Amino acid sequence: MPKRIVFPSKGQVELQDFDPGRPQPGQLRVRTRFSLMSIGTETTILHEKYSPGTHFDRIFAFPQLKTGVQALGVVEELGADVDEFAVGDTIFMRMAHGSHQVLPAALCSAVPNGIDPKHACWCGLAKTAFRAAWAADFASQNHVLIVGAGPVGQMATRWASAEHVAQIGVADLSDNRLRHAENGGANLTYAGNITDEAAPFRSMNIGNGPAIVVDTTGNPAVFQHVLNVAGKFGKLILLGDTGYPERQCLTSDMMTKGLTVQATHDSHDRDGWTQRKIDERFFDHVGAGRFNLNGLITHEFAPADCREAYALAERHRETALGILFDWSETG
């Protein structure tokens, strides 16, 4: 029987039986191999860490079935009018944690031969981070500071490296996370508060401070500190999605430095940068060795152990980066 991970109520995680149905015209039925947790978003939803009236509040409710956003699987069955995939093809999909999925073929991307299937699961968070790379035009930048080295911060670091940014600064409280960032191309890291006077990235941009700062944390308290560290006429990219936007407060740095703030979101398809187009670029970089994902899967769980997986994600973020569910023996 197919199974899926659901949040029946706040703080509760279960593995349940379900019937995904048969594919309709234009759809695929997919057997999932792996799905990767989006730690920040999923724990925000699970523990209802958001204010009333926010988009989280409008979109999510319990029981919550949308528990994930990135998975890799094999096509089991084709609906009518599907000619771009064949049974047995390996595809990436933006779907919840479940052993089987039925979804439109147009929402799937083919995974090229030679790509590690576990690495391919990062495609979803890579798309999220690409929004910052697009908004800041990484390809034209000499330096970038990325605040937060969680899963999205790791992907932002790798986009900066793939776009040949010369100086990639990453700040986080965890030495472990920073080591992963260095493996992904960061060449200026700091374990500590970004307001520390000793922070080395204050020397970026010929001592003027970073012109591009990407806040991946989703922590509303970090916002004012990022304004403080940004260089004059700098640009702040909000990539982390906070559940408490009313706690993000402007400071006088906004006016005195002439700063620009731009919010980016996974859903912002602009200038033709759709999911599939970004997926293609991601897989091209991975295949060419420009996107080092080695070691980013830090924990693997059977879906039956989903409660333990989410407890780990909530309590040990300094060591948990890639939490993978292996569906090979489930459903």
* Distance in angstroms (rounded) separating the CA atoms of residues 306 and 47: 15
Task: Phi first, then psi: give them for residue 152, nearest 5 degrees.
Answer: -70, -40
Q: How far is CA 179 from CA 10, 173, 289, 327, in A?
A: 34, 12, 18, 29
Span 134-159, pLDDT tens digits: 999 999 999 999 999 999 999 999 99
* High-pLDDT (> 70) share of the chain, %: 100
Span 186-239, pLDDT tens digits: 999 999 988 887 788 888 888 889 999 999 999 999 999 999 999 999 999 999
- Angle at which helix 151-162 crosses helix 123-136, to 10 degrees, equals 60
At residue 148, what is the residue type? Answer: G
Domains of the chain: 3-122+296-326 (3.90.180.10), 127-263 (3.40.50.720)
Query: pLDDT confidence of 31, banded at 50, 70, 90?
Result: very high
- pTM > 0.85: yes or no: yes
* Distance in angstroms (rounded) separating the CA atoms of residues 316 and 319: 6
Asked if residue 240 has pLDDT above 90, the reply is: no
Report pLDDT for 173.
94
List Cβ<8 Å contacts ≥24 apart for 8-12: 8/62, 8/63, 9/62, 9/63, 10/46, 10/47, 10/48, 10/62, 11/46, 11/47
**CB-CB contact of 99 with 80 (8 Å):** no
